[in-house]
Amino acid sequence: MESKDLNRIKVMLAEKKRTNKWLAEQLGKDPATVSKWVTNVSQPNVETLIQISKCLGVGVEELLRTDQ
């Protein structure tokens, strides 16, 4: 079974010209944790996903993959 990306955090960070480190600082999270989200190794919980969307100025739905 092939692994699929569940979120688009990496794409949205690139579009907003922001880094993993910046997001980690905004959220008060460890950069390694943010790296796991960006690479889809693990997923943030719903509350954190909402915080990420606010930091990036996008809707939660824009952070989630819907083309699968």
**pLDDT at residue 5, rounded to an integer:** 81
Q: How many CB atoms lie within 10 A of CB 12?
A: 20
pTM value? 0.88
Token pair for 37: 């989200």
Domain boundaries defined on the chain: 9-63
Residues 18-49 pLDDT 10s? 999 999 999 999 999 999 999 999 999 999 99
d(CA 24, CA 16): 15
**pLDDT at residue 48, rounded to an integer:** 97
CA atoms within 13 A on the CB side of 53: 15
Are the beta carbons of 52 and 27 closer than 8 angstroms?
A: yes
Q: Report the CATH superfamily, name and number, of domain 9-63.
A: lambda repressor-like DNA-binding domains (1.10.260.40)
